[in-house]
Amino acid sequence: MSETPAQRAFAASTVALVVAVASLAALLPPLSDGAAVVRTVLIALALASAMLLHWVFLAIGAHRMQRSVAGWLALSVLLFPVGSVAALILLSWFGDEAPQSPAMRA
């Protein structure tokens, strides 16, 4: 089975989310003790870029599935990172459901 454009967007969104969470973890005290200012700034820039890319790809995927972009993006932004994971899981789940014909629904 080939991958749909929405699934490709969700895969890219997932990779960006993993990078964002790894960058966030790198800024926590056990990993950032004694870190140089330049290193901290670069990690913060990676975090900001990854979060932005995650949200952009999530919006693209929701749009390709003809879902409410604003609603899914709000869930992802307001409840980051748990809301982002929930949005990815739910949208992927909705995308995997095969459309039913009217005869099958009855």
Q: Is residue 41 part of a domain?
A: yes
- Identify which of 64, 61, 65 has the alpha carbon closest to the alpha carbon of residue 73: 61
Q: Is residue 104 part of a domain?
A: no
How many domains are contained in the chain? 1
**Residue 66 Rama label (left phi>0; alpha psi -120 to 50; beta):** left
Q: Is residue 103 part of a domain?
A: no
Question: Residue ranges of the alpha helices (H) in 65-101?
Answer: 69-78, 82-96
Range of the domain at 66: 5-95
Q: In whole angstroms, what is the distance from residue 26 CA to residue 40 CA?
A: 9
15-55, pLDDT tens digit by residue?
A: 999 999 999 999 988 877 777 889 999 999 999 999 999 99
Q: Per-residue confidence at 105, pLDDT binned at 50, 70, 90?
A: very low
Q: Is residue 77 part of a domain?
A: yes
Q: In whole angstroms, what is the distance from residue 50 CA to residue 16 CA?
A: 5
